[in-house]
Amino acid sequence: MLGQGGSVTSIRDFDRDEIVNVLAVAGKMEAGDHYGLLQGKVLAIMFLEPSTRTRLSFASAMMKLGGQVLDFGDVEHSSFKKGESLSDAIRIVAGYCDVIALRHPWEGAARLAAQIAGRPVINAGDGANQHPTQTFLDLYTIQKVCGRIDGLTVGFVGDLKYGRTVHSLATALSRFDCRQVFVSPPSLSVPQGLLKELEEAGVEHEQSEDLRGLLSSLDILYCTRIQQERFADSMEYERVKGAYRIGPRLLAECGVKDGLRIMHPLPRLDELSPALDETPFAVYFEQARNGVPVRQAILAMVLGKV
Amino acid sequence: MGGEPPSEELSVAAIRNGTVIDHIQNEATFKVAEILRLDGAGEIVLVAMNLPSQRVGKKGIVKIEGRELTAQEADKIALIAPEATLNIIKNFRVVEKRRVELPTKVEGIVRCFNPSCVTNQQSVNTCFEVLSTSPPTLRCVYCERVMSGGDIILK
């Protein structure tokens, strides 16, 4: 179980019970005021890539628990500009704080940092690899809006090839009894390695290009951004983008369940119509808010205060 | 003298003391010799290919006089020739025979094929979880990429 001194580098390190435990602690964080729990503790925010939501929600989570936040600043004004290695920078920063939240473009950076910091390290995104606190807040959101995780059909749509949030969430959901549906153009389909992993875990899953044909079976629709830079041909980009644009009309035409809930890690482009925002289907802003109690839980757990 | 010795023995002379790596998949034979850096070594080395084998079709053999392999060398062989056997020879006799076997973790002998992996960006001892031994399939414990076949690059 995640506890004092533990690091959070990959969702792969968590089995079902451990995930359920983190979600339960997040629920307690949201339900009450825990100001003062992390008084005297310092979180170092060490982000070497741009971030808005993750950075702010880590800071908010720490402040809500009475802890202090030390921000490494952006890479342009840091020791990395002088050529300092990641290992050296981690050792230095570890001396100034009790816990580190690290975002770094190199994949595996958080795992390395956790080995050398002598402090808990929380991975806030390592390149295309992992972003475990995002996965925890996604799971927390699903549990909150559906009342359960088991027994659901979760559909993923968009860029399933490069989207790390999709890969991590699919891995995490494989610990639960969920059916998983992957909808994307062939050029952005979910990696074979992940499909194999789901097969080995006995997960019921399906792959398709046709969103319309699948929408009515879904309890959760998890959308991701399709980025233009993934396409060599801009016509192809426009075609694909149009095929997966989701709005109230499409949902009505496809006869979706009343209980369907739509998630998105944000920021969105035009894959989700703003006309959805005020409907009960949209939970993506709530999802972003859930980053705070989830990160409160993780910070409190690794600092041994829960 | 008795009957004819087996054709394999005709092709490859015996060694007195050392190691025989047998049942190497034919195409991996020179790679095995290469990773053991046998070309620059002072030992007598015998390399044979295209020998008939029931288990692997055509096989290769590498015989090295006066040398036993380290655990790391045996791991490397397991990665490129998972069907190989190691025979320890003392005074012309096989005193130990075993299949090469990958441990559950492979450390320091493989380079991660992902250029964005932290192990390719700064000095870090690589480490891979072995997902399957034959064919060898590895997952980098840092970037979590899964690699097999030609993606597995030995250091």
A5 lies in a domain?
no
Whether residue B112 sits in one domain with residue B92: no
- pLDDT level of residue B2 (50, 70, 90 thresholds): very low
Domain count, chain A: 2
The answer to whether residues B114 and B95 belong to one domain is: no
Question: Does B73 fall in a domain?
Answer: yes
Assess whether A107 and A119 both reside in one domain: yes
- Tell me the pairing of strands A220-223 and A153-157: parallel
Per DSSP, the three-state class of B63 is strand
Under an 8 A CB cutoff, do A10 and B124 touch? Answer: no
Q: How confident is the model at residue B5 (pLDDT cuts 50, 70, 90)?
A: very low
Q: Which of B71, B99, B127 is the last residue of a domain?
A: B99
The pLDDT of residue B41 is 65
Q: Residues B90, B118: one domain?
A: no
Does residue A217 sit in the same domain as residue A277? yes
- Number of domain units in chain B: 2
Cβ proximity of B79 and B136 under 8 Å? yes
State the pLDDT at residue A207: 96
Q: Are residues B76 and B141 in the same domain?
A: no
Residues in chain A within 8 Å Cβ distance of B142 = 107-108, 111-112
Residue B10 lies inside a defined structural domain of this protein: no
Is B114 close to A112, i.e. CB distance below 8 A? no
The parent domain of residue A70 ranges over 11-130+290-302
Structure tokens at A258: 């009343």
CATH number of the domain within which B118 lies: 2.30.30.20
Judgement on whether residues B23 and B93 belong to the same structural domain of the protein: yes
Same domain, A112 and A258: no
Same domain, B30 and B44: yes
- Crossing angle of helices A164-173 and A132-146, in 10° steps, is 60
Mean pLDDT (chain B, rounded): 87
Which of A127-141, B5-19, B22-36 tops mean pLDDT? Answer: A127-141
Listed as ranges, residues in chain A with pLDDT below 70 are 77, 80-81
Q: Report the pLDDT value the prediction gives residue A270, as an integer from 0 to 100.
A: 86
pLDDT score for A44? 98
* Contact state of A108 with B146 under an 8 Å Cβ cutoff: no
Same domain, A125 and A160: no
User: What are the tens digits of pLDDT across the range B102-153?
Assistant: 899 999 999 999 999 999 999 999 999 999 988 899 999 999 999 998 899 8
Q: Are B118 and A112 inside 8 Å of each other by CB?
A: yes
Same-domain check for residues B77 and B130: no
What is the rounded end-to-end Cα distance, in angstroms, of chain B?
A: 48
CATH number at residue B63: 3.30.70.140
* Chain A interface test: which of B142, B145, B148, B151 (most A C-beta within 10 Å): B142
Indicate whether B9 belongs to any domain: no
Alpha helices for chain A (secondary structure H):
16-31, 53-64, 86-94, 109-117, 132-146, 164-173, 192-200, 234-243, 248-254, 284-289, 291-302
**Which CATH number belongs to the domain containing residue A94 in this structure?**
3.40.50.1370
pLDDT at residue B98 is higher than 70: yes
In a domain, A106, yes or no: yes
- Between the alpha carbon of residue B16 and those of residues B71, B85, B94, the distances in Å are 22, 18, 10
B131 domain-assigned: yes
3-state secondary structure of A129: coil
**Whether A21 and A102 share a structural domain:** yes
pLDDT at residue A134 in the model? 97
Taking CA A203 as the corner, what is the angle to CA A200 and CA A206, rounded to the nearest 5 degrees? 110
CA distance readout (Å), A118 to A61, A300, A302, B146: 22, 17, 12, 28
Give this prediction's pTM.
0.89
Interface check B131 vs A, CB under 8 A:
no
State which residues form the domain around B94.
Answer: 18-99
Cβ atoms within 10 Å, residue A190? 22
Q: Chain B, 69-128: which have a CB under 8 Å from a chain A CB?
A: 114, 116-119, 121-122, 124
* Strand pairing class (A179-183; A153-157): parallel
Instruction: Tell whether A93 and A207 lie within a shared domain.
Output: no
Q: What is the pLDDT of residue A253?
A: 95
Q: Looking at the complex, report in whole angstroms how far the Cα of residue B129 sits from the nearest Cα belonging to chain A.
A: 13
Same domain membership, residue A125 and residue A15:
yes
Residues 6+ apart with CB under 8 A from A226: A158, A159, A188, A237, A240, A241, A244, A269, A271
Q: Which of B124, B92, B35, B134 is nearest to B47 (CA)?
A: B35
